[in-house]
Structure 1
Amino acid sequence: MRTVTVVGASLSGLYAARELRAQGYDGRLVVIGDEPHHPYDRPPLSKDFLTGRADENQLALTDAEESAELDAEWMLGVRARALDARGRTVVLDDGRTVSTDGLVIATGARARRLPGDALAGVHTLRTLDDAWALREELTRSPRRVVVIGGGFIGAETASSCSSLGHSVTVVEAAPLPLTPHLGTDMAAVCAALHRRGGVDLVTGTGVAGLRGTLTVSGVELTDGRTLPADLVIVGIGATPNTSWLAGSALALRDGVLCDDGCVTALPQVVAVGDVARVGGVRAEHWTSATQQPRVAVTNLLAGRTVATADAVPYFWSDQYGARIQFAGRRGDGDTVRITEGELSDGAPAEGGFLARYERNGRTTAVLAVDRPRPFMRARRELTRETAVAATGE
């Protein structure tokens, strides 16, 4: 390959560029990004950056020295518009084209939006520019904040807003937030963190619409209530950025469909990160974005799938001063038991706890709140057991 192009100057895109050089590729390397920024770390956007404890320069994932070592052509602030797979050409919004022999798709995902969210005071939190806009509003006098969606982004943002002295309500359509990730029992425990943090949690009702003329003034719920709001943050998930791939030979279904090695229907095209549906799963987690590129680049340079991405899933979240960590693959029929620590009034007691999810006598996943060292030991055990089970030994 004389030219390899990475579309997406994201965390996974940067890791792919690093892997290309680390695995011996010495040809032309092009990195295309729709944002004007070089790759930056997104997890702090809803936490330390939003509260002002971290600034933009602390989010940077690369520096001048590494950029020189990568020897990449950075094309930032321009969006990929189309892929001509037959001609192996990426078409950009500004009319330019990039001919390439290999392609890494790392375009990530964009925040889902609500009808009427063009009102002033309505925000999403996905990009650095989103975070800057929201951070500026949060520096004003105490406000009534409504966070729509109790997932990780919603919970972390609610926590940050509360720590800044704002009155916060979280609206979650499901009976409990995070149930798909943690199961009912542990979701209830983590929901208690909202109450402990002084945040109102409204569950089991959806959003009917937003009130306001030019500026948002309230959130109408499907149960007939209206929550007054000076600021609304929409955290209802993300949609993979695949529209530019419409009409290409790639299979698209809530992401770019890949095999277990991140390889698409075209062997010269791989996908990584939030945009990639690898082996039937699209995982929007930091660890997936950093682990998939090694396997993807190996297969891209080999021209076929010779390695698979089979790491045990892992994610973490910081909410209300608590660190939540989870690893494994939880199933609906799993039982869960707390093996270290305890609960107090349904919430994690001081010192946190460690819980194990089990099925047929085998641990399938582990969850910890404020128990980092025991969690890391349990995670290593789970990784070893999963590897043994996979080999059938």
Structure 2
Amino acid sequence: MLPQEIIRKKRDGLILSADEIAGFIRALAEDRLSEGQIAAFAMAVYLRGMSDAETVALTLAMRDSGTVLTWPGVERPIADKHSTGGVGDGVSLILAPVAAACGLAVPMISGRGLGHTGGTLDKLESIPGYNIAPDAEHLRALVRSVGAAIIGQTADLAPADKRLYAVRDVTATVESVPLITASILSKKLAAGLESLVMDVKLGNGAFMTDLAEARVLAASLVAVGNGAGMKTSALITDMNAPLSNVAGNALEVAYALSILRREVKDSRLEKVTLALVAEMLVNAGVEHDYDQALARSRQALDSGTAADLFARMVHGLGGPADFLERAGHYLPHAPVILPVVADESGFLADVATRDLGLAVIGLGGGRLRPDDAIDHAVGLSDLLPLGSAVKAGDVLARVHARDASSGERAVRDVLAAYHIAATAADARDHILEHIR
């Protein structure tokens, strides 16, 4: 069928067949469509939506537009998680080695920072020598020997998604649940996953701020992931505050290491991470009871096995062999550190989490344009948790900056992001819902 006929059918709200969708995506991947045709298709889907069956067909077609990884010799369930993005979200750095310590193989293909949210690849690139783009054989060997590898997406994985996303980005069609679902899942399926857990963030530091919308996205991801043959579930998690007490690339690596080394215990970041690992273990069939899976993941962390696997992964991808022991020597440090001081007494009632992420970008720790360089050393640390009692003059956070001018601006931004009230707010749950 002609591309314009496929566009017309979707424009008119009709159901596309799997063959029609596959043909359109094949033409897109082979550069046989105009930018106008791609944009018209995206807008038709945005306005008319897609059934789960159509979205499954779109996901599989995008997966098949490039290489699909296989894992010969890896005698473990192939599993991963994916997050919709937040602030202070260092989950991947801890989750991959914990899940590997529990018997999973985790070939985690991660991304860079998007908008106000941080990116796992940007964090890992603060480690000297870390190679985010190993060749396929090196990647397979590392997953066989260590059980985990966190790398970046290669150009031959789901290339149709890359072109479609570039058009969506400039045609106001990004916020389409079927297109978001297919974009995320096509790359995960191309990585050869057998199971996946989605971490759908909800709150003022996430892209999703409405619970109903988060449920719709989570349900779509779960239905389509399972429909495409990949066991999938989702957790909706709270992002109305930073997940860590730090935000910024090297600072988040250092904080993740403090959890792996058990210098910090029972943090918000740890609780969310272990919940996701437990869900991964149940999805993969390694455990059948969620509580037992949670206990197993905690034991992998407490025993030091996960920390050892993280160190082996870093070294296997070109980082220092003694990074776990001497991270402070290798990670970059900002030359200017300024306190953010409370100007009144009371309780930390809430925080504009997105504004904290934007403050990190303003310091140079994120991108305004895709080709911007990142300053891995800058960011925020010692962020007090919500509910903390403070007095005027107490330190709410510390700003790590390249110079005094940018640091002082960030101090003002962070102070403005916090709301101090006369009474303490009720504690929020970290895990809001399970979608299975």
Same fold, TM-score > 0.5, yes or no:
no
Q: Which structure's residues are more often helix, by fraction?
A: 2
Q: Which structure's residues are more often strand, by fraction?
A: 1
Using CA pairs below 8 Å that are at least 6 residues apart, which structure has the higher relative contact order? 2
TM-score for the superposition, normalised by structure 1: 0.30
TM-score for the superposition, normalised by structure 2: 0.27
